[in-house]
Chains A and B, each alone.
Chain A
Amino acid sequence: MTEARPDQTVLEFEHVYLVLDDKPVLRDVSFRLVRAETKVILGASSSGKSVLLKTALGLFRPDSGRVAVFGRDITGLREEELYPIRQRIGMVFQEGALFDSMTVYGNVAYVFQEDRALPAEEEEERVRRALRFVGLEEAIEKLPSELSGGMRRRVAIARAFVGQPALMLYDSPTAGLDPLTAQSIITLIVKLGDLEDVSGLVVTHRLQDAGVIADYFYDPESEGLLPAHSNGRDYDTKTSVLVLREGQVVFDGARDEMFRARDAYIRRFIG
């Protein structure tokens, strides 16, 4: 796991417990995410991965424990007090969660409709830049219903980072996508982390996603991913892995360490 000074901590969970519908969903979850780090959260279905992301965003309030974002304890904050913090976080929901009554432009520009109003030209420029980043500028006037699953996920990524967040949360960004589209989404995640220096929490149940994020970096010249450790290159991808089992952290560390772990659940998970 990346060692860092406390002032570089972007997100911190300390002994977080959360019960939903009388069922414990998070149990004594503790971890730390530092600046520019990407942490891949692995786990089977219903292991609490999505709930963990929503707790980081303040959409769920822990029953006990502490969640700190950008050094501020958000556990006891009221909804209105959370909005300025959420404006520094980008979240990509499972299935995208695009507003289906709005065009792609409306979805991506939504963040500027609230307190962060910009002049019209600047707003359009920011939206177009975000859509260019995900390769969807031509779809700007389309409705979400006219887009494929992969395109919707890419628009969701553009919507999440158009406000230039310091932390990105991805909830199963490749779930239900074909391998090629899934690969393009993971490339975008790596690109965003490498080019924009954004920290990220990536929830997935696909081990290969963790492999690509940990072993590859984005090369702006070739506009693609290159292996981090080959041809004498040793690029630090600043990636760590956290494994959840029924709401409990069973592993938190580097991906290579995970392969050496002896825990039966982890061994079963990595096959």
Chain B
Amino acid sequence: MTRIEFNHVFKAFGGGATRIQAVDGVSFSAEGGEVVGVLGPNGAGKTTIIRMLLDVFRPDAGEIRVDGALNGNRDDGFRRRVAYLPEERGLYQKRKLNDVIEYIGALRGMTRAETRERAAPLLKRFDLVDYAKKKVVTLSKGMSQKLQILLSVLHDPDVLIFDEPFSGLDPVNVRLVRQLVLEHRDRGKLVCLCTHMMAEVEALCDRVMMMHRGARVLYGPLDEIRRAHTDYQVSVDWEAQPEGLACVARVEKSDKLKNVFLKEGKSISDFMREMATAGRSVRKLSEGLRSIEDVFVSVVGGPVEAASEDVQ
């Protein structure tokens, strides 16, 4: 299984007054069999991290290791094992799907026969068989999106780097891509997911690294991060009435839930017992755990935006 490490990596763009520290001493690791979310607001340095991993840019300082090998990301062998789906996607509009697939297959070191063999089930799965002989320009945005995902996994990569893979997809295809991500993870592949769709992060990611202004601000298993940023113990549905119970210190209302803060020494069992004794019904009750979106907003201090990050 592939293992990637970033150790104290720095990268800046521009000079003088316009100098921007795009990546500021970031360290993290990720390995096969997990989905790692790389999160952050616009300009946080996510795309620069990816471009350095793909050796499009070289870091100013720090080291990048692949399977322990320093600068292993510069090897041709690593390139053949990587799939990259950038946020700003594009295709050769005037070429036929089959031609594009053949070309990408050739760039991945596959023969024409291998490419066809690999592409056939994927075309079927992504419902693109009927378009194989048509020009890319004839595809809808969603289909074009699917074609690009197809192209990225054509060579059965070990490392998948998906930047906003769900944008432009309908719910059915979101589920399709979700399945694809999980299948690859279950097969021991490493999936790096850059997305602003926090629901997908919660559904798919095992670990997350959150960046802000080039620096790593959060890093670790998803649930641990959520737990670490949660100061209440119980969440109940909006219609429940936990207010006034002896074990309850205070109640805060969020969008759909009430977050209950218990008094010191009180547990969830004490809370449930008191609710039952008081005859107050609860339709939904869960352990207190902030959503990753709440964590994101609290850490970054701004709304979640979906936009591209260009080279400075």
Do they bind each other?
Answer: no
